[in-house]
Structure 1
Amino acid sequence: MSLPILEQYASRLARADVYEVAIQTPLEFARKLSERLGHRVWLKREDLQPVFSFKLRGAYNKLRCLSEEERQLGVIAASAGNHAQGLALAATRMGLRAVIVMPSTTPSIKVDAVRAHGGEVVLHGDIFDVASEHAQALAREHNLTYVHPYDDPDVIAGQATVGLEILSQYSEKPDVIFVPVGGGGLIAGVALAVKAADPSIRIIGVEPDDAACLKLAMDSGERGVLAQVGLFADGVAVRQIGQHTFDVCRELVDDVVTCSVDEICAAVRDIFEDNRSLPEPAGALAVAGLKKYAESQVAGDNDVLVAIESGANVNFDRLRHIAERAELGEHREALFAVTIPERPGSFLDFCERLGRRAVTEFNYRYADSSDAHVFVGVKLGKASERAALVADFAGAGFEVTDLSESEMAKVHVRYMVGGRVPGLKNELLFRFEFPERPGALLGFLQRIGTRWNISLFHYRNHGAAYGRVLVGIQVPADEHKACRDTLDSLSYAYFEETGNPAYELFLGT
């Protein structure tokens, strides 16, 4: 294959060298996944790098390519984690000063890791975009050299060494390589290295379905900006694909697959069951995409599929949430709201319909003299059982709502069944994402003010930089616009859930 983009990067790839700080990570056979999917599945273990992420490669290669004058000025970057650790270690090995601006919401484990690698940490802002702007301002003010986490040709060339290793480590050629995508540095580098060697190998990017900036760009032909991004896979939570990275991807990337939070959680468990490692959500993203691809009609029989396990910087307390959602992502669990008659024997009849299936949770609440609502989680032997259960419930005369895909039901309502208040008027329901920092809740309440009554509040900390909050507010009909205008001004991501069937069944009036 001879494309201008390959020629443009040829010299950069030829001189890329990362092994003063990075290691050549193993390419491991995933036996259990291979047996289950009917393909030969291999995992590229970038979680085994000294900073538990591939980011070290691009950061070090960039520093190597700086002039001596640029190095002596010191370097600066903005990052919430993996790039920060990679740059800090690379700079320390080269005897350079490294300043890392991190959002104040960054978990302490990541802040401490950057400091342990020799980086000077500046905490600023609640989100990456604010931290990035501050880093660039500091670079100008103190004449520091700014190192972008992904949108830089030398960073891309450093990440390309992952692709070169994959080609050298497998005796046959892979059919498809799956690469997680945030800003695009890794997939651009891997695509350049692999397509230059063998254009027939397919390169597929994998993104969360709520942070799919590359898919947006590939579909439209230009770099759009996502209005907001999901924060679960924080390592790839990027609103816009890089310019340099997109120039490469639109020429060399074959397809983009998107995955849900539940599918990512299921992939974390799959990796753990195969090699006992615990990737961060972004680190398991490529495996989630590989599974989705393998289950499609596109994959050939017994194809060789490679997924890059890109990082393992996960907070331990997030594992609870990941484990909770993995069953749903694997379609081994379903959540239902079932309305049954409030009469003797109906509860027994309902339980008999469940048969010998394992119940993962069961919440019952008396609603009124005629009906009762049950929130139930059920383990499934196979995905098709979900539709069969719905049909069985309906056939018995029970009204049933499948909540397995409802984010609000899975995050909040399952823990709040029984919260209905008879006679409550004018309640609107909103789901928020709050920055996890002291004073965030107080600031929210102060800005809401005393104009409307807060009638419901539920919060769970999943160990991420953002907490997830469900809020009920009593707002007269003629003040709905004023309320939404106020919420828009808060600068917190929020979603209205007033019409959600889970709310109407278990929490609404």
Structure 2
Amino acid sequence: MSESTMPSEAGVHAAAASIAQILPPTPLLPVEIGGVRCWAKAETLQPVGAFKIRGGWWRLSNLPENERARGVVAVSSGNHAQGVAWAARRLGIPAVIVMPRDAPKVKLEATRALGAEIVLYERPGEDRDEVAARVLEERGGTLVHAFGDPWVIEGQGSAGIEITEQLGAQPSRILVCCGGGGLAAGLALACPDAAIVPVEPEGWDMVGQAVRSGEIVRVAADAPATICDALRPDATKPINLAVLKDRAGPCLAVSDEKIRAAQRFAFSALNLVVEPGGAAALAAALAGKVAIDASTVIMLTGGNTDAESFAKTITDL
């Protein structure tokens, strides 16, 4: 498979089999919302605190030996960074991660602790893809894109295989926190009978706008600030749109206020620490933006948040 090749359902199953050899499945927890019992997939409990470990592992484990020696370069605000760094350390592959200087401190420190080299850029002000391109030109290596890579999409989709095995059937719908659409696309491939409901921050619904218009849409220059550092790509990629255009919907957007409420709910009802970007799907469910039933699954995608900001969220009611 080349980087221009489309991901496949068979590839998702292969990724799931590989990941099952190194990681236990994350819990599928019952949760009651509006009198309806549904399910929450706790990807917050992955070794790196987020689902990104799946795509990082599947991408890097498929690198040929000659490419492994040259290393990898990734761009991330933190969760993909840790997923790639974790896989790179396990596989003995050098990793350079391009990260925004304003990324949460906990994510920067965790990525360094996993042995990756970090190259910082200014956000806003610098184009992260241009920074990564300079690193690749200077050092060589393989770019591991956070969402626009077929192996990464397949790896993320392994969560859907786990969900189906845990439920004993495919879910009716999956509410999924969405940045560039890598996880949403992977789940669409993994669970072809399930409705895929991407949830993005208000003003950053690049996947939703792309699905509705049928073409890539870039974020507005005056896009509002959001607490969801993990859900702020400028645009989705053609590979993600190709998978999602006939599969995703409704595509939803939620406010920071609703996301903070979801973080508090996850902490009180599930005893889980969920970062803002990891709580977007739960926020949509709690706000009644989409109907849920007994086989609905809500993705809790990440739990990497600074203690100070999380404490403020759960105490400022």
TM over 0.5: yes
1:135 alignment partner in structure 2: 132
Kindly indicate whether the alpha-carbon contact (under 8 Å) linking 1:159 and 1:189 is maintained by their aligned counterparts in 2.
yes
Name the CA distance, whole Å, in 1 between partners of 2:230 and 2:24. Answer: 21
Q: Which among 279, 291, 302 is matched to residue 299 of structure 1?
A: 291
Letter in 1 for 2:263: V
TM-superposed deviation, 1:320? 4.8
TM-superposed deviation, 1:206? 0.7
Kindly indicate whether the alpha-carbon contact (under 8 Å) linking 2:13 and 2:158 is maintained by their aligned counterparts in 1.
no
1:223 alignment partner in structure 2: 216
TM-superposed deviation, 1:118? 1.2
1:150 alignment partner in structure 2: 147
Question: Structure 1 residues 174 and 10 mapped into 2: Cα distance closer, same or farther (>3 Å)?
Answer: closer
Describe how 1:281-292 pairs up with structure 2 within 5 A: 281-292=276-287
Question: Structure 1 residues 136 and 23 mapped into 2: Cα distance closer, same or farther (>3 Å)?
Answer: farther
Kindly indicate whether the alpha-carbon contact (under 8 Å) linking 1:102 and 1:128 is maintained by their aligned counterparts in 2.
no
| 3-state DSSP of counterpart to 1:216 | helix
Question: Structure 1 residues 129 and 52 mapped into 2: Cα distance closer, same or farther (>3 Å)?
Answer: farther
| 3-state DSSP of counterpart to 2:19 | coil
| 3-state DSSP of counterpart to 1:18 | helix
Describe how 1:454-469 pairs up with structure 2 within 5 A: none
Kindly indicate whether the alpha-carbon contact (under 8 Å) linking 2:218 and 2:235 is maintained by their aligned counterparts in 1.
yes
1:189 alignment partner in structure 2: 186
Name the CA distance, whole Å, in 1 between partners of 2:128 and 2:236. Answer: 18
Letter in 2 for 1:124: Y
Paired residues in the alignment total 308
TM-superposed deviation, 1:321? 4.5
TM-superposed deviation, 1:299? 2.7
2:257 alignment partner in structure 1: 262
String of CA shifts for 1:65-95, please: whole Å, max 9, x gaps.
Answer: 2221111111111211001111111000001
Name the CA distance, whole Å, in 1 between partners of 2:50 and 2:187. Answer: 15
Kindly indicate whether the alpha-carbon contact (under 8 Å) linking 2:260 and 2:313 is maintained by their aligned counterparts in 1.
yes
TM-superposed deviation, 1:305? 1.9
Kindly indicate whether the alpha-carbon contact (under 8 Å) linking 2:228 and 2:276 is maintained by their aligned counterparts in 1.
yes
1:47 alignment partner in structure 2: 44
Kindly indicate whether the alpha-carbon contact (under 8 Å) linking 2:28 and 2:41 is maintained by their aligned counterparts in 1.
yes
Name the CA distance, whole Å, in 2 between partners of 1:262 and 1:321. Answer: 13
String of CA shifts for 1:99-120, please: whole Å, max 9, x gaps.
Answer: 1121222233222111111111
Q: Give the % identical residues.
A: 35
2:116 alignment partner in structure 1: 119
| 3-state DSSP of counterpart to 1:313 | coil
| 3-state DSSP of counterpart to 1:105 | coil
Matched, 1:9 2:43: no
TM-superposed deviation, 1:304? 2.6
TM-score, scaled relative to structure 1: 0.58
Kindly indicate whether the alpha-carbon contact (under 8 Å) linking 1:78 and 1:128 is maintained by their aligned counterparts in 2.
no
2:161 alignment partner in structure 1: 164
Describe how 1:68-467 pairs up with structure 2 within 5 A: 68-127=65-124, 130-171=127-168, 173-195=170-192, 199=193, 201-228=194-221, 229=223, 230-292=225-287, 295=288, 299=291, 302-323=293-314, 327=317
Question: Structure 1 residues 279 and 113 mapped into 2: Cα distance closer, same or farther (>3 Å)?
Answer: same
| 3-state DSSP of counterpart to 2:191 | helix
Kindly indicate whether the alpha-carbon contact (under 8 Å) linking 2:201 and 2:226 is maintained by their aligned counterparts in 1.
no
| 3-state DSSP of counterpart to 1:149 | coil
TM-superposed deviation, 1:256? 0.8
Larger radius of gyration, structure 1 or 2? Answer: 1
Name the CA distance, whole Å, in 2 between partners of 1:14 and 1:170. Answer: 17
Kindly indicate whether the alpha-carbon contact (under 8 Å) linking 2:99 and 2:118 is maintained by their aligned counterparts in 1.
yes
TM-superposed deviation, 1:18? 2.3
